[in-house]
Amino acid sequence: MRPTRRTGLPISRAVLATALAVCGARPVCAQATSALPHAWNEAVYALAQKSAAAMTPTHAFSTEVNDVSQEAPVELAAIRRAFEDDMTARGMRSVAAPADTQIVVSVSRTLAGFTLVAEIRRAESAQVAMAAVTSDEPVATQPGGEPGLQRKVVWQQAAPLLDFDQIAGDSNQMFWYFLEPERLIVFEFESGQQVLRDTQPIPRRYAARDLRGWISATDATHLSAFVGGGRCDAAWNPSLAMDCRDNASEQWPVGPASWTFTPGRNYFSGTVVLSSSLQARFPPFYSSASPQAATSGQGASRRVIAGLDGEAQLFDGTADPVSTFEEWGSDIVSIAGACGGNWEVLATGKGDWTEKDQIQLYEIRDRKAVALGQPLELPGPTLAAWPSDDGKSARLISRNLETGLYEASIVSVGCGD
C-alpha cells in the first residue's frame, strides 16, 4: 500500500529484450482481434517467432492457413490474423499473394492435442517451423466451494518489520528469521520452546523513506537478506555468520526470476531477468506476479506489474499492456489456488499508511481479472507481501492501527465446501 502521490515519475513503455535477439514485441491487436484462446495465442506467437527467424525483414510474405485435422476448435481466419500481426511486429511485411515468401500454416492433430506447422516457401529454399498447442481447453475450476482467504498472525512487535520466514530444521526444530531495517533476528522453536538464537546488524547502504527488505532462504541454515541496495548472506557454522555488502548486481532473485532493484529508492527498475540469456523490460514497479507454470500451464510471457503510477497492468509478451486492472494496490503476489483455479493473484487495496487495507483474490482469465470470494479485511495498511517458498501462501507485513504493532502474517487460500 504505497500512495501514488509519492511518485510523479514518467513511465516508459515496456520493451521485451533477450540476448538471443529472438523475443520481439508482440502487438496488442493480435489478441484484441483474434479472439483466440490463450493456448492457441501462445502457439501462434511461438510459430511466428520461429518463422521470422528464418526470414529477413526485407521479405514480404503471404499467408495461407489450412486445417489438416478437420477438428480445429478455433477459426482459421483468427489464426491467420494473429500470425500476420505477430510477423508484422517483427518487421515482416504482409501482402497478398504472390509474394517472394509464401507461408502455409497447417493445423494438425496429435495424441497430445494440436500442432501448428508453418511451411516457409521461397524460390531458393523451403523451411518448416512447428509449435504445439499446449492445451486446447482452459483449466477448469474444480468443484468445491468459493475460495476464501485466511490470515494467520504469527508475530507482533513494536519495531518496524520488513520480512520474515520460517524454515524447518527437522521434525522438532523450526527457525524463524525476522528482518528489520537494521538487523536480522533469529528465533528457534524446539519442542514448543522459543529461544532467541542470534541477532546480526545490517548496515544501511542507502537512505530511503520507505525501505524495502526481503528474505531468500536456501534451507534452514543458509539465507540471504536484501535490504534496499544491500545484500547480506548468512550461514550457520556452528554460529550464525553474516557477510553484508553492496548488492552490485542489484538483483533480487524472487522465485524463478530476478527483479532489478533501484538503489536509494523503494521500487524495482522494470528489468526482470528470466535466465542467463533472457530478460524482459517493463515499466518500473513495486511488485510483480507471473503464472506458476506447474499449476497453471501458462508461460512466463504473462506478467502483471504494480506500477509507480498506481495502475496494475497485464503484459502478455507485449510491448504495451493488454489490460489495466483498477483498484489494485502496490503489493501483488501469485498464489496456487486451492480450488483448482488457473492463475490466481493476491492484490492489496489502494490507500495510504493511515488507512485499513484489504486483500482480494483474483483469477487472471485471458485479459481479465475476475474477483474470487470476498476480500480479506486488515486492521491496518499492508507494508509488504512476498510469495512463500512453495507458492501456496504469501508472507504479509502489516501494521495494526489500533495497537500500533507490526504484524507478520501468513495468507493462504481455502476452498470452502
Report residue 73 as a C-alpha cell: 476448435
Nearest to 335 by CA among 389, 381, 416: 389
Q: Which of 367, 288, 277 is nearest to 328 (CA)?
A: 288
Please tell me the predicted confidence (pLDDT) of residue 129.
Answer: 81
Nearest one of 394, 397, 395, 417 to 407, comparing CA atoms: 397
Neighbours of 193 (CB within 10 A): 7
Among 208, 204, 169, smallest CA distance to 186 is for 169
Predicted model pTM: 0.65
Quick: pLDDT tens for 302-316: 899 999 999 999 998
What pLDDT score does 305 carry?
Answer: 95
**How far apart are alpha carbons 301 and 336 in whole angstroms?**
18
Q: Which domains are seen in the chain, by residue range?
A: 4-14+141-415 (2.130.10), 38-133 (3.40.50.10610)
Question: What pLDDT sits at residue 5?
Answer: 30
- And the C-alpha cell for 228? 534496499
In our burial notation (b when 16+ CB lie closer than 10 A, e otherwise), range 82-97 reads bbbbbbbbbebebeee
To which residue does cell 536484501 refer? Answer: 226
Whose grid coordinates read 509519492?
A: 6
Which regions in the chain score pLDDT beneath 70? Answer: 1-34, 56-58, 109-113, 134-145, 170-172, 190-193, 206-209, 293-301, 338, 340-341, 416-417
Q: Can you give the C-alpha Rg of the chain in angstroms? A: 24
Alpha carbon distance 346, 384 (integer Å): 12
Closest CA to 305 of 14, 27, 7, 5: 14
Residue 208: what pLDDT? 65
Could you read off the pLDDT of 21-43 as tens digits, one per residue?
233 333 333 333 347 888 888 88
Question: Which pLDDT belongs to residue 71?
Answer: 79
Chain centre distance of CA 321? 14
Confidence (pLDDT) at 321: 93
SS3 assignment for the chain: CCCHHHCCCCCCCCEEEECCCCCCCECHHHHHHHCCCHHHHHHHHHHHHHHHHCCCCCCEEEEEEEECCCCCCCCHHHHHHHHHHHHHHCCCEECCCCCCEEEEEEEEEECCEEEEEEEEEECCCEEEEEEEECCCCCCCCCCCCCEEEEEEEEEEECCCCCEEEEEEEECCEEEEEEECCCEEEEEEEECCEEEEEEEEECCCCCCCCCCCEEEEEEECCEEEEEECCEEEEEEECCCEEEEEEECCCCEECCCCCEEEECCCCCCEEEEEEEECCEEEECCCEEEEECCCHHHHCCCCCEEEEEECCCCEEEEECECCCCEEECCCCCCEEEECCCCCCCCEEEEECCCCCCCCCEEEEEEEECCEEEEEEEEEECCCCEEEEEECCCCCEEEEEEECCCCCCEEEEEEEEEECC
Sign, Cα dihedral of 280, 285, 286, 287: negative
Q: Max Cα separation, the chain?
A: 79
C-beta separation of 207 from 201 below 8 A: no
Q: Which residues contact 71 (CB under 8 A, 6 or more apart)?
A: 109
**Cβ partners under 8 Å of residue 137, min gap 6:** none
Residue whose C-alpha is closest to residue 289's, from 259, 320, 327: 259
CA distance 50 to 269: 30
What per-residue confidence (pLDDT) applies to 202? 92
Q: How buried is residue 171: exposed, middle or buried, by Cβ count under 10 Å (0-12/13-18/19+)?
A: exposed
